Structure 1
Amino acid sequence: MSNRASGNLMLLATVLLVSANLRPAITVVGPLIERIGSDTGLSPLALGALGSVPIVAFGIISPFVHVLGRRFGLERTIFVSLLLLAAGTLLRSVPGSDLVPQALTLYAGTSILSAAIGVGNVLVPAVVKRDFPDRVPFMTGVYTAALVGAAAIFSGGAVPLADALGWELAFAVPAIFALLAAVGWALRKKPAPDQRDTSSTRLVGAGLPTTLWRQPLAWQVTLYFGLQSTLFYTLLTWFPAIQTSHGINEASAGLWLGLFQAVGVVASLIVGQIMQRTRDQRGISAVVVAFMLVALLGIIVAPGLMPLWALCAGTSTGCSLLLALTFISLRAGSPRQVGKLSGMAQGVGYLLAAAGPVLAGALYQVVDSWTPVLWCAFALALAQGVFGHFAGRNVHVE
């Protein structure tokens, strides 16, 4: 193997390592949320708020991440974020005491780890654009598959881990993988000069942050990102509870949540290959949204087929994330533009998505039924389809 090939393999491996750490610390919560509520006394509304903490953190930090990346460099910024991810994950798992209520460590640790993940969310697309400029859709599919696959493993294993170790220690396990990723990232060799972004100073002027916010295409990408995030995090938080309301036991509900995410791995790899061969993604977007609409209707009218609806919903959310990230990379012209559009899309998009788990929990608390929540999700999926149609066109931000 040539030095160049081995260098590219190392670049790919480290990107996948980081990507695999961008969800497990969050997805481990959903299958255990009712157990957490029972042990801590938190209400459904408070538990919904806990599910929204990561999304709020993403939304707050995302617009500023590109500044950190420019100031300290992509490599150093991502490395520090991985260390913070491990620290926040460990803090969240600390049991409560008379001096420090468990709710405090739970929310504080979740806030820290979520801010760290927010850094990776924004900068990994910029790294892909810089290191693999000719393979953006395919590479986005690969790292999305790593992200979704790791999330699925931790969702599916959350309940068995909690049964064996207690839910606090189960919460701490993702910290081990964050530290491993930090070591791998520290050993990463910086790409050769010809792989770096040499066009950003020419393509990106001082007025870009202002003009981005005025461009319809940037808002179409942003709203698509926000709507797919809203659906994903609402289902991530409450899908196990929706299942148990239909008589499915906790372990099976966690397993189906894992399946919901695992199918996104295969879907992302397949769709990433297809997107590599096409410049217009409108048709792909329509098919992806159709899977979600079928899943939501299926849960409402035929809950006995829950594994099938988990497959459909997981296919949609996995591919929706891939599309959202690919839209960011393809609709921008350079890695620096990607960082700025990524900051806008994820900043606004995640703040929009933060309302999903909270409002879903509040609505359920009022009506004592998940059916109205699922119909609201259906309406959001329709809106996602509309914005996907516009964001999927072969056009670029100015």
Structure 2
Amino acid sequence: MPSRASGTLMLMATVLLVSANLRPAITVVGPLIERIGADTGLSPSALGVLGAVPIVAFGLVAPVVHALGRRFGLERTILLSLLILVGGTLLRSAPGIDGLPQAVPLYAGTALLSAGIGVGNVLVPAVVKRDFPDRVPLMTGAYTAALVGTAAVFSGVAVPLADLLNWELALAVPALFALLASTVWALRRAPVPEAPEDSAPSVAGGRLPTTLWRQPLAWQVSLYFGLQSTLFFTLLTWFPAIQTSHGITEASAGLWLGLFQAAGVVASLIVGQVMQRARDQRGISAVVIAFMLTALLGIIFAPGLMPLWALCAGTSTGCSLLLALTFISLRAGSPSQVGQLSGMAQGVGYLVAAGGPVFAGALFQAVESWTPVLWCALAIALVQGALGHRAGRNVQVE
């Protein structure tokens, strides 16, 4: 029994460590976005594109990840993704090569590291479904907390690191963390399944199974994932700039961005335990959206209380991500189906979300005010709430 318990703890630790690497390389950029623009000459629209590169990469990678996982195995595929994350993070911090502007490795490295993260985004839920089938909401809450927590830490230390080193080296620091995760993951021993996965489930009456792309529930999960990602990445990219437009210092804006993400840690742990006992997730979804609406209206009408609105927005985005990942795991019936639904939801969802930072940057550049951007975000939150009510029902895809 002790060896079995220690083996379970090792499995949990490795999942949490990989999850902890799925955001820091991205979230470290937000607090430094204006400094990067000043040094590279990139416009707000171009910086919005930089913020959208990870989301586009997630969306393009997601549909093929399930096939890679089945072909090479979950463990080897995730290990390769971590090594790609290390390489891309280092490339992003490289200076311009052979006369090329520094923006070239900045964008190329961001795309490469994002592809590595995109693999983990899809396969970690499948690992949770396979290794912890009776504790999916609880484990999803734990790894969401790990993901959001480390993202918050790296956002909070980004400006001090850039002051101590420079912004290029500050962007490279997450590579060390990813290298640690790849080393630990390589030592992992996956459990041997008692029976093979259902690669071709039987269908009563001899009918062909309905594909995910034809099922409303799969689309509800996918679009919910997309809209929560739109809000998260838009705020992640531009929340510091929104704050500095109200006279908040760059260092304080970075701290409030860290608070924005840290709030999701506690919220994910609490909500994960609640969902473990809940019959469905519709009520939780409604409360989560209420926090986001409060935050957006607060930023518009009472910007002097920015730490409070950062807390509310972070609680909402952290729980929204937890809900989106839980929808993927609970609305599918097996690890194989989780991989398929995860690929669809993240492929569609991230491509939907990619326009968020770009549109926000372009709209601000056109009107020189963040208020219209915040009203657009509020409309997106309302639609997300409606989708959460549908995706939160206690049903599964066919």
Q: What TM-score do the two structures reach when normalised by structure 2? A: 0.97
Following superposition, the deviation at residue 201 of structure 1 comes to 3.8
The residue that corresponds to 2:180 in the other structure is 180
Contact 1:23/1:151 (<8 A) preserved: yes
2:30 aligned with 1:16? no
User: What per-residue deviation string (whole Å, max 9, x for no partner) do you get for residues 58-93 of structure 1?
Assistant: 000101100000000000000000000000000000
Contact 2:292/2:381 (<8 A) preserved: yes
The residue that corresponds to 1:392 in the other structure is 392
Partner AA of 1:117 in structure 2: I
Contact 2:82/2:179 (<8 A) preserved: yes
Contact 1:130/1:197 (<8 A) preserved: no
The residue that corresponds to 2:148 in the other structure is 148
Following superposition, the deviation at residue 202 of structure 1 comes to 3.0
Aligned length, in residue pairs: 396
Following superposition, the deviation at residue 100 of structure 1 comes to 2.6
User: What per-residue deviation string (whole Å, max 9, x for no partner) do you get for residues 7-55 of structure 1?
Assistant: 1011000000100000000000000000000000000000000000000
The residue that corresponds to 1:118 in the other structure is 118
Aligned-partner SS, 1:202: coil
Aligned-partner SS, 1:395: coil
- Aligned counterparts of 1:203 and 1:224: Cα–Cα separation in 2: 29
Contact 1:299/1:309 (<8 A) preserved: yes
Quickly say closer, same or farther: Cα 1:26–1:207, change in 2 above 3 A: farther
Quickly say closer, same or farther: Cα 1:313–1:327, change in 2 above 3 A: same
Partner AA of 1:172 in structure 2: A
Structure 2 counterparts to residues 200-349 of structure 1, below 5 A: 200-202=199-201, 211-349=211-349
Select between 94-103 and 331-340 the one with higher mean Cα deviation: 94-103
- Aligned counterparts of 1:147 and 1:17: Cα–Cα separation in 2: 9
Quickly say closer, same or farther: Cα 1:268–1:168, change in 2 above 3 A: same
The residue that corresponds to 1:92 in the other structure is 92
Partner AA of 2:365 in structure 1: Q
User: What per-residue deviation string (whole Å, max 9, x for no partner) do you get for residues 209-230 of structure 1?
Assistant: x610000000000010000000
- Aligned counterparts of 2:94 and 2:165: Cα–Cα separation in 1: 13
Percent sequence identity is 81
Partner AA of 1:61 in structure 2: V
Quickly say closer, same or farther: Cα 1:336–1:301, change in 2 above 3 A: same
- Aligned counterparts of 2:202 and 2:85: Cα–Cα separation in 1: 33
Quickly say closer, same or farther: Cα 1:120–1:279, change in 2 above 3 A: same
Aligned-partner SS, 1:193: coil
Contact 1:152/1:262 (<8 A) preserved: yes
Contact 1:200/1:335 (<8 A) preserved: no
Contact 2:226/2:346 (<8 A) preserved: yes
Following superposition, the deviation at residue 96 of structure 1 comes to 2.0
Select between 143-152 and 89-98 the one with higher mean Cα deviation: 89-98
The residue that corresponds to 2:189 in the other structure is 189
The residue that corresponds to 1:79 in the other structure is 79
The residue that corresponds to 2:366 in the other structure is 366
- CA-atom RMSD, angstroms? 1.4
- Aligned counterparts of 1:238 and 1:98: Cα–Cα separation in 2: 32
- Aligned counterparts of 1:167 and 1:158: Cα–Cα separation in 2: 8
Following superposition, the deviation at residue 279 of structure 1 comes to 2.4
Partner AA of 1:85 in structure 2: L
Partner AA of 2:179 in structure 1: L
Contact 2:152/2:258 (<8 A) preserved: yes
Following superposition, the deviation at residue 325 of structure 1 comes to 0.1
The residue that corresponds to 2:131 in the other structure is 131
- Aligned counterparts of 1:127 and 1:200: Cα–Cα separation in 2: 16
Quickly say closer, same or farther: Cα 1:203–1:300, change in 2 above 3 A: farther
Q: What TM-score do the two structures reach when normalised by structure 1? A: 0.97
Aligned-partner SS, 1:87: helix
- Aligned counterparts of 1:76 and 1:203: Cα–Cα separation in 2: 29
Contact 2:267/2:319 (<8 A) preserved: yes
- Aligned counterparts of 1:229 and 1:309: Cα–Cα separation in 2: 18
Following superposition, the deviation at residue 147 of structure 1 comes to 0.2
- Aligned counterparts of 1:14 and 1:109: Cα–Cα separation in 2: 25
Aligned-partner SS, 2:201: helix
- Aligned counterparts of 1:17 and 1:60: Cα–Cα separation in 2: 24
Contact 2:197/2:336 (<8 A) preserved: no
Following superposition, the deviation at residue 203 of structure 1 comes to 5.9
- Aligned counterparts of 2:266 and 2:156: Cα–Cα separation in 1: 16
Quickly say closer, same or farther: Cα 1:191–1:297, change in 2 above 3 A: same
User: What per-residue deviation string (whole Å, max 9, x for no partner) do you get for residues 92-131 of structure 1?
Assistant: 0002255232100000000000000000000000000000
Following superposition, the deviation at residue 198 of structure 1 comes to 3.6
- Aligned counterparts of 2:383 and 2:336: Cα–Cα separation in 1: 29
Question: Could you list the runs of 5+ residues in structure 1 that have no partner in the other structure?
Answer: none
Aligned-partner SS, 2:100: coil
Contact 1:197/1:336 (<8 A) preserved: no
Quickly say closer, same or farther: Cα 1:278–1:224, change in 2 above 3 A: same
Contact 2:197/2:335 (<8 A) preserved: no
User: What per-residue deviation string (whole Å, max 9, x for no partner) do you get for residues 175-226 of structure 1?
Assistant: 00111000000000121333x7644443699966x61000000000001000
The residue that corresponds to 1:27 in the other structure is 27
- Aligned counterparts of 1:94 and 1:270: Cα–Cα separation in 2: 40
The residue that corresponds to 2:103 in the other structure is 103
Quickly say closer, same or farther: Cα 1:318–1:197, change in 2 above 3 A: farther
Question: Could you list the runs of 5+ residues in structure 2 that have no partner in the other structure?
Answer: none
- Aligned counterparts of 1:222 and 1:158: Cα–Cα separation in 2: 32
Select between 356-365 and 95-104 the one with higher mean Cα deviation: 95-104
- Aligned counterparts of 2:243 and 2:196: Cα–Cα separation in 1: 47
Aligned-partner SS, 1:99: coil
